[in-house]
Structure formats: C-alpha cells, structure tokens
A and B are shown apart, each in its own frame.
Chain A
Amino acid sequence: MSAPSWILLVAYLVVLLLLSWPLGIFLQRVADGDLPRWLRPLQGLESLLYRAAGVDSSHGMAWRQYAVGLLAFNVLGLVVTYALQRTQALLPLNPQGMAAVSPDSAFNTAVAFVTNTDWQGYAGEGTMSYLTQMLALTVQNFFSAATGIVVVIALIRGFVARSAGSLGNFWVDVTRTTLYVLLPLSMLFAVVLVQQGTPQNLSPYAIVDTLDVTAWQQPKIGPDGQPLQDAAGKPVLEGMQTRQQILAMGPVASQEAIKMLGTNGGGFFNANSAHPYENPTPLANVLQMLAIFLIPAALVFMFGRMVGDRRQGLAVLAAMTVMFVLATSVVTVQEQQGNPLIASLGADQTASTLQSGGNMEGKEARFGIAASSLFAAVTTAASCGAVNAMHDSFTPLGGAVPLVLMQLGEVVFGGVGSGLYTMLIFAILAVFVAGLMIGRTPEYLGKKIEIHEMKMTSIAILVTPVLVLAGTAIAVLADAGKAGIANPGAHGFSEILYAFTSAGNNNGSAFAGLSANTPFYNALLALVMWFGRFGVIVPVLAIAGSLAAKKRIPVSAGTLPTHGALFVGLLIGTVLLVGLLNYVPALALGPVVEHFMLWHAK
C-alpha cells in the first residue's frame, strides 16, 4: 500500500473515532431515556406523537410484543412504499411524468428499502418521481435505520437487565432514535452536502447544450423492450449522437444524507455515489465514508457504556478495526496492482504524480485507487451498499473483499444496529466455545449462554448463508437466472453470488453486470432480503428476551475475560472461521479461480 493510501486510511479512522465517541455518549443517553436538557423542547413533540398514535410510552414490552410491533411497523412500511411506487403517476411532484413502477420491481424495491438493503434493480432518475423518492424511499431510509438501531438497543438491554421481563417500548425507541438521532444528523449532513454542490430542488430535469457532439453506440431495443439480437446471438448496435444533455434534478441532498448515515445505500441516481451530484467533491466523498461508519461505530461506544464496562465496547471496536484495516489494505493493494491483461496491451498502470495508476476500470478519476478502494471496503463492511466505483470492474481479489466482508455478516462496523447485533451474536458464539474451553458454562457480560440462546444464535447464523447459497444455486440452475449474466465464465458466477450475498446480508451493492430487473430476480432477491433481515432480527430479539430474564452473574477470577487482546483475537477468529467456511467453495469457483486465471494463465 502506498503512503497516500495509508495516510487516508489512518486519517479516516482517527476522525471516525473522534466523531463517533461523543455520539456514542449521546446515543447511550437517548437509549436509556436520560435525555440531555437541550433536547427537552423536542420532548413536547415526542409526547404529542405518542398521544396521536395512542401509544402508552411507559409500557414495557416483552420480546414477543417488541418483535410483533417491529414486524407490523415494517410490514406497514412495505405496503406504503409499494403503493406509492405503483400510483406515482397519479400523484403530485412528478415533473418528469414517471409511469407507475412495474409490480415486481416495485415489490423488490419496497422490500429493499424496508430491509435497509436498498438493492436497486431500477435507475432512480428514470423511474421514480420526486414524491416516491422522498415519501417512500427516504422515509424508509430513516425507519429501516431506526429499526436496526432499536434491535441492538433491545439486545443490549437484555444483557443489562436483571431478571426482567421487558425490553423497553418499541414505539418509544423507534420514535426517539428517529427524532433525536437520525433526523438532526441527516439535516446537518444534507446542508453540508448542499454546500458541496449536491442539488436539493423539485425542478424538472435541465436540458443543456454540450460543447462537443457526443457519439455512441447502443443496443437496439426491439418492440418487446428487449435488446434485438442478430443471427449470431450478438446484440444489434445502433449509432447515436447528440449535442444535448439532460441533467437530472431532485431533492438529492436530503436523501443522500440518510442514505449514508442510515447505511442504506440506495442512490438517488443510478450511478449512486459515483454520480457527481450525489458525491460532488473529494471532501464530500470522505464525509460520505465517515457518515457510513459514524453511527455503527458510535453504537459500539454506546454498547460499552450501557453495559457499564467500556472495555467491552472497546474490545468489539478493536476486532472490527483490525478486520477493517486488513480488508481495506487487500482491496487497495489488489487494485493498485492493476490488471496484467491491460498491462500487456501497453497501458501504464504505475502510480505517478500524474495518475493514480492501478486498475482504473469502473473508477472515477477524481477519486482514484485509494479513495475508491476505501469506499468499497467501507460500504460493504457496513451494510450500506452505496458505491463510488463499480465493484464489478475490480480485480478478482479486489472484488472478493467486498464479497467476503458481506459474507462475514457485515460485522465490521456493519449496518446501523445490524452490524453490532450480528457481531454480538458472533461474540456469544465465541464465548460459548471459549467458555467451554475453560470449563465453565459460558457466560457473556454476566449472562449465562444456555440452550435457548444457542438455539436462537444458531438460527441467526444459519439463515443468511442458507439464503445466499440456495438463492445462488437456484439462479445458476434456472434459465431466467443465467439470462441476466453479462460476463461469461467464472465472473458470471461471481456476479450472481454477489447479488445474493448482497441481498441476503442487506447490503444492496451489486456487481452491476448482472441485469437483475427481471421478475425472476426481483422476486427471488426480495425474498432473500426479507428473510435475511427479519430471519435474523427475530432470533436476536428472542435472545434479548431470554437474557433479560436471567440473573447477572458477578465477575470472578474464573470468568472468561471478554476484553483484552485474547478475546479480540478469538472474536476475529470466530467471525472468520464461522462466517467464511460456508462460502469457501463458492468463492473458489468465483473470484479465486478468476484470480488464478488472470495471473497464472498458462
């Protein structure tokens, strides 16, 4: 790794920790209901909301009740998001006259935004009206993020509580998280983005004259909407040229802010954060990366404070940071190394003061290798899925790292809430095996890990790999699945594997070579996203419920210490071993074999 890459990475981590530490303190106070004085004025609004909704904010919920509330809230979100897309042609704020979204795409998108995945089979600027963007997608960006955060708060309460039946009140948690954390942060960040150049308007798209004539070739589309093919099965291309360009507009900044802060990742435009309006400057680029990890990192600080032992939080943070640095350095090194096939054509891929060198296919020249590699690692370590470069064009191992980061369950900082609760599930698993190894019934944070917890932990850990592998298997068997592949050979397999990995882990980024806006992929991926999200959340809440009911065991010399280097190493080992072993054969048939083919071609 070059010096600039290191400097970027270290500076990024330092600023991240400096920002997330105070936010963690604030989050803990919100979670514990100990609101700072300056928030009091907003509390009137909060109680007004409860009164309007008929919520008794003092009512504590058992885990089942909490889970039912959470599921009902999200199903409602699903219905509203679907309905708005289907009826957008009839609704206001549609200057471009966007038609109703097709049923399968609308369903897929609704599930994607409710589950915090933000998988996008559509192109935003050509599909969604401003009302849909704001009311359906942006609102779900807030609520899906809040859902993730309240689940981890409930889980931590389970650890903290002593022989308690309640995990808190879902409606109160979700309201406070949205009102006191997500909204203020997003407003602040949106203003910063507007200052950097991101549009925030409701104007129709602007048509401007270009300086040059732009000429290009595009596949000819037949009357059925599918590309025409010639006798040899190749797409028929037609020559095009234009002197004009359409500039898409819209309320971009407001959606962009929560897209990052809530680790949603669903872009306003198709090009996501590679688009100059979504991500206008190098500074905006760094701020976006910081925004992705800000809340996930702050939640870890909050965790340490809530359980009353900050070292516990620091241990988890250390494990995350080590894995993150490792992943980022692999991507950066691989991308910087470039592509031997391009090198053999005489292209210069060495870094110099004039160019960043390396594999620049699919990357923005303004970001270069370091910022693109870091962004790729950040967005897939978290469950964000926003991209500022095309992962499909990464080198095989450079692209394998985002894939692996997702397959680990997105526990390296991870999605808001989901990253930490999944990591705590891994911690429970690590503690279970380690606890046995020192001859005690395993316990984590003073709570015994027994049959019920292991049952739920097993389900939570099992759900995602089963969905990802089974989904990929169905897609590579079905003709409808194989039809979407853009690249032949092993890379085609990687594209499908990436799609299901991204959906199952609620990331939303893609190897964009796969044409996934078909009824087959829309339906299958929606199912994978839904169960990948709630198939984990429900067992996590069940664990929280049973932990809350237990006594808290005091620490003794015989207690397994869950802070310190040994535990950090153990946690990393568990994540890598349990998270990765399931995917080894699939990875071998995708990126690994691609790598050997590229570098060791005979």
Chain B
Amino acid sequence: MTSSNTFSLFSRDLVRPALASAFAKLDPRVQWRNPVMFVVFVGSILTTILWVQALQGQGEAPAVFILAVSLWLWFTVLFANFAEALAEGRSKAQASALRGMKAKVLARKLDQPHHGASTQPRFGDELRKGDVVLVEAGEVIPLDGEVIEGVASIDESAITGESAPVIRESGGDFASVTGGTRVLSDWLVVRIAVNPGESFLDRMIAMVEGARRQKTPNEIALTILLVALTIVFLVVTVTLLPFSLFSVDASRMGSPVTITALIALLVCLIPTTIGALLSAIGVAGMSRMMAANVIATSGRAVEAAGDVDVLLLDKTGTITLGNRQASAFLPARGLSEQVLADAAQFASMADETPEGRSIAVLAKQRFNLRERELSGHKTHFVPFTAQTRMSGVDIEQPDGSLRQLRKGAGEAIRRHVESLGGSFPVDVQAATDDVARKGSTPLVVCDGLRVLGVVELKDIVKGGIRERFAELRRMGIRTVMITGDNRLTAAAIAAEAGVDDFLAEATPEAKLRMIRDYQADGRLVAMTGDGTNDAPALAQADVAVAMNTGTQAAKEAGNMVDLDSNPTKLLEVVETGKQLLMTRGSLTTFSIANDVAKYFAIIPAMFASTYPQLGALNVMHLASPASAILSAVIYNAMIIVFLIPLALKGVRYRAIGAAALLRRNVLIYGVGGLIVPFVGIKAIDLLLSALNLA
C-alpha cells in the first residue's frame, strides 16, 4: 500500500496502458456516458466524413483544412479518454497491490468454536460467515472476523503500511481482525464475519477499481449544467447556419459558413475542458483518499466530507495523547514534596501503566530519585482492582512492621484511610478539588493511615492541535470534544485545546442525541469512532470514519475506514472532499471563461468573406481565417492535456475563509480563464504560421 502511494503522475507504467485505453474508449457506448464529449465524438466523425467528401472533390473547404480540424477533434476526444484512463490506471495499480494480498489462503476450520477442537482444511473462499477458524503464528487470516479466543500479535502492514505489529485479543475493542493480515506470534480463534467477496479487502478493491463508482450527487448536478450549456451552444451553432445564409444574401458577398467551421466553433464553445476531466477528477479524488490510507465506501461520503460543519472528536487519542502524565507533587501540610515523591515512586514501582511510569519519571526528574533495588526488602505488590480502586505496595520494614503505600482516587483513599482509623486532611481535599478543576486527574498517596499528598496527572494536549482547530474554525467547521470525563475536567481540556464545544460524561445515547440535534439544525456531522458503543453514533453521522483497529460493528456502521487508525485523519478527509469540489468548480469556471477568447478567434474568421468589417474583432491578429479556427481547436484540445495534472492532484485547499478562497479562485480560474486562451491561441497561431501550416 505504501508503495502504491508514491506513483508519480506520469510514470511510464501508467502512461502506456492509459494510451492504449484512450483508444479503446472510443467505443460509442463508452462515449455516450459523457454527453459533452459525445458531442465532440460525433463532431469528429462528421468532419471525417466531410474530409472524405473533400477528397472526392466535393469539399466545402480545402481538404487539408478539414483534415486538420478533424484530427484535432479526434485528439480532443482521445485526450479526454487519456485523462480518465490515467486516473483509473492509478487506482487500478492501487487495487492490484491490494489484490496481491488476496492469494489463496488455506485455513483451518474448527469443528467446535474453541481452541483445541479438531480442524479441517478449507480454502479461504470456501468459508462462510459464522465459521470459526484457528490461525496460528506464521499463518494468514483468511477473512475479516472477530477474535473469540486467544491473544496474538499481528502484522497489518499489508493493509496499513505500518510495520509495527499490533495486538489482537478476544473481547473488547481490539477483537477485530482483517483478512489478508498475518499472525506473527501465538494463536487466535476467529469467527468469520463476512462471506468471501464481501470482505473489507474486496470492498476496497472494488472501490478503487471504480467498478462500483457511481456518479455522486454533486457530479450529477454539475453534469446537468454542462449538458444544458452544451444544448444551448448546439442551438447557437445550428442557428448560425441560417443566420449566415441570410447574411450572405443580405450583403451579397462571400459564402456561407462551412459545416467544418461550425463544428469547430461548437466544440470550442461547449465546456470540453471540464467535460473531459470530470470523471478523472472523481476517480482521482477517491485515489487521493486511498493515498491518505482512508477507504471510503462511497464517493458520496467523500463529497459529503467537504461539507462537514461539525466535527466530533474523541478526547483521548485525538485531542490529548492517549495517556495522562504526572505533572506535579502536591504534599499534605507539613510534608516536603520529596517525601511525597519518594512514596509515590515506591507505590508505582510495580505499576506498568503509562500513568504509573510517568510518576516514577517525574520523581526522578524532580529529585533525582532512582528506582530502588527492592531485593533488600520483602515487598508485596497490591494490584489495582475495581473494588478497591487503589494500587500500591506493602513493604516489610527491617523492624518487621508493614509499610502500606497506596495510591488511588481521592474517594478510594479516604475510605481506605478512614477504615484504618485515620482521617482525610482538609488541605489534601482542597488540593484534590483544585487539580480536578484544572482538568487534571488527582491521585492521592497514603502511607498507612497517613495521607501524604496528591499527584497531579495531567492530560497532555497534542502539540499543534490548537492550530489545527483554529484552522478548522476558519474553514467554518465547529469542533466538539467528546469525553467520558466530568464537566470540570472536560471544560479545562476543551479550553486548553481550543475546541468550540465539548460533551462531558458522554454516553452512546448522549452522542447520538447530540448528532441528531446538530443535524436537525441542518448541519453535517462528521465523527470518528472505534468501539462497538460508537456504532449507533457512527451510523447516524453524515461522515463516519471508523478506525481500522476498531470493532467490526464500528467499521460496518461508518462510511469510511482509516487504515492508520489516526483520529486526526478526519481533517485530511475533509480537505480531500473540499478539494474534489473545488477542482470541479474551478475547471468549470475556467472552461466557460475560455469561450470569450474563442469567440474573438472564430467569429471574425467565420464571416471573413461575408462581413470583412468584422475583422476589427480579430484582436489577436491571427494570421488567416483557417489558422484562427485551427488555433482555437488546437488550444481547446491541448488545454485538456495541460490540465490533467491539476485534475489528478486537485486544486489546493487553503483554510483562509470562504470569501478569500473564492476571491483567489475566481482570480486564478475566472480571470485567468479569460486571459490564458488569448495568449494560447495567439501562440499556436504564430507557431502554425512559422511552420507554414496554415
């Protein structure tokens, strides 16, 4: 996958098949699907017939001229085909990289759904939903499924491009496995969740190959506009023939316009630039998502991503680093910080959680306290349980007494101390409340019945996230932090991270309600999620990105899957969606604006014999009528080729606010679209004259 991200735009491997495919797409049934280019296609055939007629001596214009126009019209069609084929080629390359992983897998089907039952060999495509298989180290998981027994490390690099193995185990949010990934150690009993051909991998392949690519609503709306413009320009050119006949009659000079010139004018006027590139833009958008390691289940979802108004983001992992870290020691009255630090470090010695480690690290940083050799003491570790909600260590002192060090939530320690006959000091209670109010987590440490103080565990907001949110705000997107924390904690972190709103003590129901409320206001909501309890909210959200590490239920509910399982990816998804629409809009504007210059080239040329006075409109001083018409047609064809890179890469999105962005794009593509063809047509005309071709 990672390798497929780096296809250069015009690499030889892509260009050569695309060239072949450009000719294969000359099939009328293929052309019919793109109404604008179909008109060019018919025009090419007509001019070819006119050329054959001219060869037989019945030409309406010199055969060479008709041939030149005809050839360039064919090139226009071919360039459009090439653009589409090139975009599809990139997707196909990505798909074939995926398909490589779909090698036939021999799986071991379990007769009973538990480890140790007898197994039978089955090919991956013989398995059905609900079957249970055993996968051991070195084997490939045959199909998507859920781990029902066992723990194993898995290499998912084939899908995610991430080389570090991940752990999958039964129960909880890490039970989902993807077909095509390899078990590195241990074994898993997996219940298959899909039938062959419906797996995640299959869907990905179908998606990127474009086999299931349907036009998105917005693309259809744009196509309607383009078809309307094509019809109106068809009427403009068709009626021009009677107008010309009348004018010849009225001015008693010259000859009527030729069919060739009319077809040339028609092709120049209809929006061929956007018409030729429209489908390439769509395919490329999908492909860009793919390059960002996001798989969208529909183009509609990609498009909707550009419209998102509200982003719901999980606090943990998205806004803050996954783990809290100890940031301060707040000793009880009369004690030094060092005493507290020392005790806290002791109590955390056996605590391998990141929070526990961070306490030891902080103690070392602050007081250079090293983790002590414990062999000299008889120690007994007290692990965290849901009942006590404390952990710690019992140390047998040289005098035989037992030193009981505990750390835990304030309430838990209070109960513990009071049960031993001690009391919970008022100043420690105050410190606990203070810490909570700041959005941090207080951890109280006690030695026997003596409360030593509070360790502040702080949520660390990710670097740069505040700037990202500011950027989103400029894009008009509201950010909402979702957290299970209480309101105080949530408010403090929300303020620090710079989100617009937060949902504290979030339950699945509360999330769902919040999404519905926003939607009722007419807003489009995006969210990320991974757990099964996120599934209802994911299903309700307009753009729902499920983490690849998430449960099968979450993945089914979402309309995109992030292979990297990186929740900040949502921002890239939004940008890609916007890029897709922007590229379409900008090229449409460019295409229509181009018509002005083309008129200035063709109109004086067409009526040169009837109304030589119209030569005053030949502001570009094109050499001859034939060269003027030909230059316009050549420009019209070549501009497609020049814009292929832009169509595939997309117009860059900048978070500078709607008005500024519009001003910028109107300047570049609107005003630019007015000017560029004047330069281009003139240049082609000069070239044609220099080569004595016209």
Contacts and interface: CB of A to CB of B under 8 A. Distances in A.
B607 A473 contact: no
Contact of B582 (A429, A439, A564): A439
A437 B611 contact: no
A578 B240 CA distance: 18
A582 B236 contact: yes
B522 A446 contact: yes
B152 to A, nearest CB: 43
Contacts of B666: 434, 437, 566, 570
B426 interface: no
Interface in B210-250: 217-218, 220-222, 224-225, 227-228, 231-233, 235-240, 242-247, 250
B607 A589 contact: yes
Contacts of A559: 476, 658
A551 B221 contact: no
Count chain A CB atoms within 10 A of each CB in B218, B220, B309, B657 and give the residue with the most: B218
Interface string B567-588: 0000000000111111011101
Contacts of B236: 465, 469, 582, 585
Contacts of A573: 670
B617 interface: yes
A490 interface: yes
Given A458-B228, A490-B250, A551-B522, A440 B614 contact: no
Measured as residues with beta carbon below 8 angstroms from the partner, the interface class of chain B is 35 or more
A490 B242 contact: no
Interface in A526-556: 551-554, 556
Contact of A553 (B222, B523, B603): B523
B589 interface: yes
B589 A553 contact: no
B661 interface: yes
A589 B243 contact: yes
Residue of A436, A586, A593 most packed against chain B (CB within 10 A):
A436
Nearest to B575: A439
Interface string A184-205: 0000000000000000000000
Contacts of A351: none
B601 to A, nearest CB: 12
Interface string B260-296: 0000010001000000000000000000000000000
A589 B232 contact: no
B614 A596 contact: yes
A433 B577 CA distance: 16
Contacts of B521: 554
A16 B164 CA distance: 74
Given A596-B614, A600-B613, A564 B659 contact: yes
Interface string B593-610: 101100100010001000
Contacts of B613: 593, 596-597, 600
A473 to B, nearest CB: 4
Nearest to A463: B232
Contacts of B476: 556-559
Interface in B634-676: 653, 657-659, 661-663, 665-666, 669-670
Contacts of B243: 472-473, 476, 493, 585-586, 589
B643 to A, nearest CB: 15
A316 B521 CA distance: 27
A593 B589 CA distance: 29
A522 B220 CA distance: 40
Given A560-B662, A581-B595, A589 B611 contact: yes
Interface string A475-504: 011000010000011101100000000000
Given A461-B228, A462-B231, A570-B666, A584 B251 contact: no
A470 B244 contact: no
A436 B240 contact: no
B475 interface: yes
A262 to B, nearest CB: 30
A476 B247 CA distance: 9
Contact of B250 (A432, A489, A560): A489
B239 A451 contact: no
Nearest to B475: A558
Contacts of A459: 228
A488 B666 CA distance: 44
A449 B225 CA distance: 12
A592 B614 CA distance: 8
A251 interface: no
Contacts of B522: 446, 551-554
A175 B359 CA distance: 80
B156 interface: no
Contacts of A450: 217-218, 221
A557 B239 contact: no
Contacts of B616: 596, 600
A321 interface: no
Interface string B470-488: 0001111110000000000
Contact of A557 (B240, B474, B584, B607): B474
Contact of B617 (A435, A441, A581, A588): A588
Chain B interface secondary structure, helix, strand, loop or mixed? helix
A561 interface: yes
Looking at A438, A451, A459, A461, the one whose CB has the most chain B CB atoms below 10 A away is: A438
Contact of B607 (A492, A561, A588): A588
B657 A489 contact: no
A473 B240 CA distance: 8
B218 A560 contact: no
A470 B589 contact: no
A304 B522 CA distance: 22
B592 interface: yes
A576 B196 CA distance: 57
**A439, A451, A455, A462, most chain B CB atoms within 10 A:** A439
A488 B246 CA distance: 11
B43 interface: no
A175 B120 CA distance: 83
B169 interface: no
Interface in A497-533: none
A454 interface: yes
B665 A437 contact: yes
A365 interface: no
Contact of B235 (A469, A492, A564): A469
B447 interface: no
A466 interface: yes
A473 B239 contact: yes
B579 A441 contact: no
Contact of A560 (B222, B309, B658): B658
B12 to A, nearest CB: 33
Contacts of B593: 577
B18 to A, nearest CB: 26
Contacts of B473: 557
Contact of A476 (B246, B474, B585): B246
Given A556-B478, A596-B614, A433 B251 contact: no
B247 A493 contact: yes
A133 to B, nearest CB: 37
A410 to B, nearest CB: 18
Nearest to A552: B522
A557 B475 contact: yes
Given A458-B225, A466-B235, A470-B239, 11 more contacts: A434-B585, A435-B581, A439-B661, A459-B228, A462-B231, A490-B247, A490-B250, A551-B522, A560-B659, A584-B603, A585-B599
A-B complex: 7 closest residue pairs judged by Cβ atoms: A558-B476, A436-B585, A439-B578, A458-B228, A556-B476, A557-B476, A437-B585
18 contacts: A433-B589, A439-B579, A439-B582, A440-B578, A450-B217, A458-B227, A493-B246, A553-B309, A557-B658, A558-B309, A558-B475, A559-B476, A577-B596, A584-B599, A585-B599, A589-B247, A596-B613, A597-B611
Interface of A: 429, 432-441, 446, 449-451, 453-455, 457-459, 461-462, 465-466, 469-470, 472-474, 476-477, 482, 488-490, 492-493, 551-554, 556-561, 564, 566, 570, 573, 577-578, 581-582, 584-586, 588-589, 592-593, 596-597, 600
